[in-house]
Amino acid sequence: MKKLIFSFCMLIGTLGVVTATDFTDTQESVYKQDITELASLNIVKGYPDGSFKPKQAITRAELLKIILLSANIDTAGEHEICFLDVAKEDWFVDIVCTAKAMGIVKGYDDGTFKPNQTVTFVEGLKMAIEGFKIQTRNVDSNFWYAKYLDFVHQHSIFSQYAYYPEQAFSREMMAHLATMLLKGQSGSRDYNRNFRSPGCGKSQPANTPSSVMLNGTERHFITHVGQHYTPSQPAKLVFAF
């Protein structure tokens, strides 16, 4: 059995060479702090032009490399061909085959893994959570990814309402997820869910319709209270964004 030692030893992608924490294209990223923190620890790196490309999608092979290296899982040794589209000369053969042997990935029904295919949001969650050997609770759902969405939602990593399951999993998303999982493993992060809306505590304009700034994004809204209600009794309040 491989011994898992969670260490800060991962690289995002295979082409990054910039180690500076002040990337040229992360100022507008909502996960800038996570990117900067991981870069300062040499966990993630940028590109020769000084960029990080936070919105760029990660491939399946690249993501597995991040997960296995971050968990210090040994991938050395001879491996039988584990997928039809993974050859012995591929740089990721040991990574992919180790991940399959550990049950982190299974591949597709046709026997392929599609290593160069970009990762979807829910695929990224599954690979990372399974790679870190994190136990998830059972969720009553017909969707295979429901328990992974539930985990990141309940632990305030990603809101299950913020992203589409099939959208691309980006480098900035992976930086955020890696930061949260590593902190969770080290015990330096409280995994209690914060149920407050991002707008809680912010003063609202008196007139509607109007707009408010939430995390640097202008959101327009209309508040509606119904026509028939008793002031002394609870009433339905509708916010439309």
Position 77 scores a pLDDT of 74
Section 79-101 average pLDDT: 92
Angle (CA) 240 153 122, round 5°: 100
The token duo for 4 is 């898992």
Average pLDDT of every residue of the chain = 78
Name the one residue in this structure whose structure tokens are 């990593």.
Answer: 157
Sheet holding 210-214, edge to edge: 210-214, 217-224, 238-240
Q: What is the DSSP letter of 173?
A: H
Q: Return the structure tokens found at 219.
A: 């959101």
Q: Which H or E run includes 164?
A: none
Q: What average pLDDT does this structure show over 174-200? A: 69
CB 201 within 8 A of CB 208: no
Kindly tell me if the per-residue pLDDT of 173 is higher than 90: yes
Average pLDDT over residues 4-8: 39
pTM of the model: 0.67
23 in Cβ contact with 39 (< 8 Å): yes
The residues facing 224 across adjacent strands are 238
Q: What is the pLDDT of residue 190?
A: 55
| pLDDT given for residue 218 in this prediction | 73
Query: How far is the C-alpha of 5 from the C-alpha of 163, rounded, in Å?
Result: 31
| C-alpha distances in Å from residue 88, one per residue of 66, 93, 112, 174 | 20, 6, 14, 27
| pLDDT higher than threshold 80 for residue 199 | no
